[in-house]
Structure 1
Amino acid sequence: MEAVDWALLIGAGSVLALAVTSGYVKNRLWISEPTICLLIGIAVGPVGIGFADIRLGDPGQNLFIEQAARITVAISVMGAALRLPLGYVRCRWRELAVVLLPGMLLMWAVSGAIVWGVFGLPLLVALLIGAVVTPTDPVLADSIVAGTVAEASVPERMRHALTVESGANDGLGLMFVLLPISLLDRPTGEALTHWIGFTVGWELLSAIAIGAAMGWLSGKAADLAFRRPDTEATSITTVGLALTLTALAAVSLVESDGILAVFVAGLVFNQTAGTHAEVRHEHFQESVGRFFDLPIFILFGMILPWREWGDLGWPAAVAVVGILALRRLPAWFLIARWLPSLRTKQEVLFNGWFGPIGIAALFYATMAYERTGESTVWTVATLIIFSSIMVHGITATPLTRLFAHHAAEAATRESRSPEDPA
C-alpha cells in the first residue's frame, strides 16, 4: 500500500502542481508540461532517487505500460476530435488525405532509412522502428495548438491542421506498424495477404464503421440531452470519457483498431451533437485530458533504458538528429502545394518542424517489442521519443513566439503602400 500511496503522491501531485500553474508554465516557461513530467519521472526513477525500477521484460509490466499508453492516446485523440470545428474534416478531407497517405509514407520511409543506414539493422526491423515513430503525438501537439501563446501566435487553420493530423495518424499508424511485424513473423506472400485482408480489410474499415456508429448514436443522445435546460456543461466530460473507453474496448474486443475508432467516434459525435458539444468540449480537454495525459510522461521517464542507449554508441546521436530534422520537414515541403492550410514557406517550416513523437510511439514500441521480441526496437524507439519530447517541448514556446514575430513583420511589410517608404 505504501508504494501505491507514493505513486499517487507523485502522479497526482505533479498534475495538481501543473494544474494550478498551467497558465504560467504554458505562457512563460520555455518548457512544456509533458517535458516537466518526463523530468519528474527521471528524477524518481532508477537514475534518480530510485523510487521504482520498471523495465520491459516482465510480462505484467509490459502489459501495464502498453495499456497505460493505449488509454492515454485514446483520450488524447478524442480531445483532438472534439477540438475541431463542426464540418472540418468534410471541408478539408483532401488535405487530410495528402497528409495521411503520401505524408505518412514519406515520414515512414525516411525514418526507416535513417535507422537502417545508421545502425545497420535488418531492413524489416528498421522499417518497424520507422513505423513506430511515424505518428504525430496529439499530447505533445497540444502545446502548439492550445493555450494563450498558441492561439495568439499561430493561425487557426494551422492549429486545426496539426490537430486533425495528430488524431488521425495515431490510429492509421497501426497499419504501418503491423506490416513489418507481419513480414517478420510470416512468409512474404502469407504476410502480405494477412496484412491486406485482415489489417486493412478488417481492422481499418471496421474501426471506421464501428467508431462512426458509436459516435452517431452517442451524439444523437447527447444532442437531445443538451437541449434540456437542466443538463450541465460538465456532462460533456462524462460523455467524452465514456465514449472514449467504450469505443476503445468494444473495437479492441473484435480485434480492430481501437485508437482510430475513438478518433472517428469523436469526430462523428462532435458533428452529431452539434453546437452543444462544440461549446462545451473544453471541459473534456482541460480536465480529463490533463489528468490522464501527464502521468504517462512520468511513467515514461521512469522506464528509460539508459544503459541500452549507452550501448548504441555514437550512431544514436546521428539517428536522433537525422530523424528529428529529416523525418517530417522534407516531406512537408514536397506536399506543401496540396496543403491549403499552409500558405507561406515559414508556415510550412513551422508545421513541418512541429510533428512531435510521443505516447503513440510508446504504445506502438511496446506492442512491437511484445510481438517480435526485438529489444532493439524498444531501445531505439524510446531514445527517439525521449529526444522529441525534450526538443519539441523546449522549442514550442520560443519558436511559436518567433513565428508570430516574423508573421507580424511580413504583414506589416505587405500593408505598406509604395508611397509609404517608412
Structure 2
Amino acid sequence: MLNDHVLWYVVVGLLTASMGLLAPLLKRPWISAPQLHMLAGLGIGPLGLGLISLNWVRDAGLLEVLSELAVIVSLYAAGMKMRLPIRDRRWITPAVLASLTMIATVALVAGAGYAMLGLPLPAALLLAAVLAPTDPVLADEVQVEHPCDDDRLRRALTGEAGFNDGTAFPFVLLAVGLIGRLIDQDLHPLGEGLWRWLLVDCVWKIAGGLAFGTLAGRAFGWLILYCRKRLEPGAGAEELLTLGLIGLTYGLALLIDTYAFLAVFAGAVALRGLEIQEPHAAECDPAEAVLDDCGTEPGPPADGASNGNAGCEAVLSETEESDDAPAAWELAQEQTRVADALERMVQLFLAVVIGLLLSPARVGNVRAWLFAAVVLFVARPLALYATTWFCDLTGPQRRLTAWFGIRGIGTIYYLSHAFGLGVGEAMPEFSAGLADCAILTIAASVLLHGFTVTPLMNRYAERYADPPTAPADRPSGGKV
C-alpha cells in the first residue's frame, strides 16, 4: 500500500487535467486513450519514476474495490447503448459470445496454462476464467455509438462485454473451490458432485441477476417518469440519479445473492427499453436529441462511405411531425450522457493502474508474454470461429469480432476477488505467475488493440458496416 496517500491526489489531478488538454491527440490513428493512460502509469510506477507501487497479492482488496467500481459504471454505460427490445432476436449473437464462445475460450486458455506454464488444472482454470471476459471499459471505440447504430459488429461486441462480466463469475468460483479442495480448505463451497455450483452459482445467480436487473430497470424508470410528470428536475439531478440507479441496482442484487454485474447491465438495457415501448416514440423523438446521439448533422455521405446518417435522417424526419418529446427518450439521453462521462473517468484511472502493476521483473517474464500471445492470437479466434458459425455475422465482422476480444478491468477484478478469497495464500508458489500472465495479457491487449482499433474500424465503416435504420423500420426478428 502507499505510504503517502497525498501523492495519489497530486498524480490523479495532474493526469486528469493533462488528459483533458491532450484530448485532440486521441483523434489521430494509432493512439487511444487507454494507451496514453497506461503509459502515464508506467511513467510514475516501478518501470518509471517509482513514485507509486502496487502489488496484486498485497493490494488485492484495493484493486478489487477500484476495478469493481469501474466495471459497474462501464456495464451501465454499455447497457444504455443497447437500444433493443429485451425479446429481440438480435440479442442471440451477443448471448452466444458471452456463453458458448466464453466457455470455449476458458477451455483453450486453461489448456494453454496447464501445458505452457505448468499450472495445476484448478490454477489454470482460474487464470482462464479471469481472462475470459471482454472489457467494455477499454473497448469504447468498438461499442454501439448512438441509437441509430444497428451495426452487427458493434452490437455484438457491446452486448458480449455487458454479458460476460457476469457469466465468467461461475468459472472463477469453480476454480477457487477446486483450489480449496487441493489444500483441504473451503475457499468456496461447490457441493457434492458440484451440485451447489451448478444450481446456485450457474443457474440462480445468472438467471436471478438478469431477471432482477430487468425488473429493477423497469421499476426505477417508471418511478422516475411518474415523478417527472409532477416535479421539475433540479441542477445536477441526472448525475445523482445515475449514481443512485447504479448503486441501488448493484446493492439490491448483491442482497439477494445474484450476479450484480449482470443486474446492472440488464437494468440499463431495461431502462433504455422504456423509450422503445412508448406508443409514439418513433414518431416524436426530439430533433436535438437525435442529432446529439447520432453525433452529426444528417446529410449525404462522403464518397465511398456508407450512409451512416440514414437512420438518423429517418428518425429526424419523423420527429418534425410532433413537438411533444417523449419523457423516456429524454431520460435515456441524459442517462447515457452521464454514464459515458463516468466511464471515461474510470477508464483513465484504471488504465493508469494497469501501468502501475507492470514491474521490471513482471515485464521480463518471457513465458507470460508468450502466454498472452496465445490468448489473443489463438484462443480467442479459435473459440469464436468454433461457436459463431451459425450467427448472422459477415466474414469481416467475424474477423474483427475475433480480434477485438479486449482484456482489461474485468480481469483485474476477478483475480483480485480470487486473491481476496484466499487463493494467494493457498497457492503462494503460483500466485505471482497468475498475476504476471493476467497483467501482461491486459497490457498487450491495450497496446495491440489501441494501435489497430482506429484504422481497422475506419476501414470497416467505409466498406463493411451495416447501415443504420430508423427505429420504426428495425426488425424484431430474423436470422440469428
Give the TM-score category using the shorter length.
Answer: 0.7 to 0.9
Distance 1:346 1:68 in 2: 36
* Distance apart, 1:233 and its partner CA: 9.3
User: Which position in structure 1 is the counterpart of 2:170?
Assistant: 175
* Distance apart, 1:55 and its partner CA: 1.4
Q: CA RMSD in A?
A: 2.8
Taking a change above 3 Å as real, the CA distance of residues 326 and 272 of structure 1, as seen in their structure-2 partners, is same
* Distance apart, 1:21 and its partner CA: 4.2
* Distance apart, 1:288 and its partner CA: 1.5
Q: Is the 8 A contact 2:138 2:347 kept in 1?
A: no
Distance 1:199 1:262 in 2: 18
What secondary structure is seen at the aligned counterpart in 2 of 1:30?
coil
Which range moved further: 372-381 or 2-11?
Answer: 2-11
Which range moved further: 246-255 or 381-390?
Answer: 246-255
User: Which position in structure 2 is the counterpart of 1:49?
Assistant: 49
User: Which position in structure 1 is the counterpart of 2:245?
Assistant: 243
User: Which position in structure 2 is the counterpart of 1:420?
Assistant: none
Q: Is the 8 A contact 1:203 1:255 kept in 2?
A: yes
Q: Is the 8 A contact 1:42 1:301 kept in 2?
A: yes
User: Which position in structure 2 is the counterpart of 1:38?
Assistant: 38
Distance 2:35 2:251 in 1: 29
* TM-score of the aligned structures, taking structure 1 as reference length: 0.85
Q: How does 1:186-335 map to 2 (within 5 A)?
A: 186=181, 190=192, 192-227=194-229, 230-231=232-233, 235-272=237-274, 274-310=328-364, 312=365, 314-335=366-387
Task: Describe the superposition over 1:189-227 as per-residue Cα deviations: whole angstroms up to 9, x where unpaired.
Answer: 636123113212443233223323321221112222455
* Distance apart, 1:123 and its partner CA: 1.6
Which range moved further: 88-97 or 110-119?
Answer: 88-97
* TM-score of the aligned structures, taking structure 2 as reference length: 0.76
Q: Is the 8 A contact 1:136 1:356 kept in 2?
A: yes
Where does structure 2 lack aligned partners over 5 or more consecutive residues?
A: 183-189, 276-327, 466-480
* Distance apart, 1:134 and its partner CA: 0.5
* Distance apart, 1:3 and its partner CA: 4.0
* Distance apart, 1:163 and its partner CA: 0.8
Distance 1:89 1:252 in 2: 25
User: Which position in structure 1 is the counterpart of 2:119?
Assistant: 121
Taking a change above 3 Å as real, the CA distance of residues 233 and 116 of structure 1, as seen in their structure-2 partners, is farther
Taking a change above 3 Å as real, the CA distance of residues 387 and 170 of structure 1, as seen in their structure-2 partners, is same
What secondary structure is seen at the aligned counterpart in 2 of 1:256?
coil
The one-letter amino acid of 2:33's match is E
* Distance apart, 1:132 and its partner CA: 0.6
Q: Is the 8 A contact 1:75 1:244 kept in 2?
A: yes
Q: Is the 8 A contact 2:95 2:163 kept in 1?
A: no
Runs of 4+ in 1 over 6 A off after TM superposition: none
Which range moved further: 169-178 or 249-258?
Answer: 249-258
Q: Is the 8 A contact 1:115 1:126 kept in 2?
A: yes
What secondary structure is seen at the aligned counterpart in 2 of 1:230?
coil
Taking a change above 3 Å as real, the CA distance of residues 112 and 253 of structure 1, as seen in their structure-2 partners, is same
* Distance apart, 1:232 and its partner CA: 6.6
Distance 1:306 1:242 in 2: 41
Distance 1:160 1:277 in 2: 21
Task: Describe the superposition over 1:139-165 as per-residue Cα deviations: whole angstroms up to 9, x where unpaired.
Answer: 111122267xx999x973321221111
Task: Describe the superposition over 1:329-359 as per-residue Cα deviations: whole angstroms up to 9, x where unpaired.
Answer: 223223333322x2x2112111210110000
Distance 2:135 2:336 in 1: 19
What secondary structure is seen at the aligned counterpart in 1 of 2:250?
helix
Distance 1:233 1:399 in 2: 40
Q: Is the 8 A contact 1:136 1:170 kept in 2?
A: yes
Distance 2:240 2:54 in 1: 32
Which range moved further: 196-205 or 357-366?
Answer: 196-205
Q: Is the 8 A contact 1:324 1:388 kept in 2?
A: yes
- Give aligned pairs, total: 398
Which range moved further: 61-70 or 108-117?
Answer: 108-117
Give me the identity figure in percent: 26
Q: Is the 8 A contact 1:53 1:302 kept in 2?
A: yes
User: Which position in structure 1 is the counterpart of 2:137?
Assistant: 139
The one-letter amino acid of 2:437's match is V
Q: 1:398 and 2:400 equivalent?
A: no
User: Which position in structure 1 is the counterpart of 2:9?
Assistant: 8
The one-letter amino acid of 2:243's match is L
User: Which position in structure 2 is the counterpart of 1:417?
Assistant: none
Q: How does 1:348-387 map to 2 (within 5 A)?
A: 348-371=398-421, 372-373=423-424, 374=427, 375=431, 376-387=433-444
Distance 1:8 1:297 in 2: 16
The one-letter amino acid of 2:389's match is R
Distance 1:337 1:303 in 2: 38
Distance 2:115 2:232 in 1: 61
What secondary structure is seen at the aligned counterpart in 2 of 1:138?
coil
The one-letter amino acid of 2:350's match is I
Task: Describe the superposition over 1:87-132 as per-residue Cα deviations: whole angstroms up to 9, x where unpaired.
Answer: 1663323323322221111111121122222112112211111111
